[in-house]
Amino acid sequence: MLRTIIFDFDGTLADTLPLCYYSFQNVFWQFDNKEITEAEILSMFGPSEVGIIHENLLSEEKEVAVERYYECYEEKHHDYVKRNHEIVDLLIHLKKQGFQLAIVTGKAKRSLDISLKALGLVSFFDCIVAGDDVMKPKPDPEGILLVLNTLNVNANEAIFIGDSDADILAGKQADVRTIGVQWLPNYQSATFTVQPDDFIKKTDDFLISLNTRFSK
């Protein structure tokens, strides 16, 4: 029986990818005098923002650069990221149905908190695992396994929803069922190299899938 629904965040629960791109581009231009593309930024995804900056920025002012990233992210959040009412309605419906909801994201807790508070999503989740809560980022299953352990849920009682190959791979390695989504304007993977158990482009179809394919 399905008890727990675990979500990725960027590109899954919120259309935050353009803001992430802007913030990284600002940092790399300011500290390395380097222009980087969205594709280059996507290729760095996995670690938290702190990890990405420490691994890829040439400047020695890495801690200052991290602070600049968070400044950009918070200052421009209202301009770049809008509350998606279809996602909010979906979360309300799932909570009313009695599901435990969780987040597993590579995003650092600091930027995740900025987004959750700005979008009014804090109260929906029973467990949140951010990028700085784990040693190994997705596609490693550590974050998903941490949620299962924290909420005392078996793998066959959970599903993981995400917009990237890393999400689907992490779910498969954690032995949970997976759903790939492209229901927001910006998402990470145009196609999935490892096929999820279902693929959804509209939030309404998620509820249909939940009742027909994942109800047992």
Domain boundaries along the sequence of the chain? 4-15+82-212, 17-79
Decide if 198 is catalytic.
no
Residue 52's pLDDT is 97
Residue 98's pLDDT is 96
The residue among 191 and 154 whose pLDDT is bigger is 154
Write out the two tokens for 41.
């930024």
Residue 213's pLDDT is 80
Q: How far apart are CA 153 and CA 100, in angstroms?
A: 10
Catalytic residue among 8, 163, 165, 167: 8
Assigned fold of 4-15+82-212:
Rossmann fold (3.40.50)
How high is the mean pLDDT of the chain? Answer: 96
Cα dihedral angle (29, 33, 37, 43), rounded to 10 degrees?
A: -90
Q: What is the pLDDT of residues 16-57, one digit of tens each?
A: 999 999 999 999 999 999 999 999 999 999 999 999 999 999
Q: How far apart are CA 115 and CA 68, in angstroms?
A: 17
The helix/strand count (H/E) of the chain reads as 10, 6
- Region 137-148 average pLDDT: 98
Residue 216: pLDDT above 70? no
- Region 138-145 average pLDDT: 98
Residue 190: pLDDT above 90? no
Residue 215: pLDDT above 80? no
Residue 105, helix vs strand vs coil:
coil
- Region 74-83 average pLDDT: 97
- Region 57-63 average pLDDT: 98
Residue 181: pLDDT above 90? yes
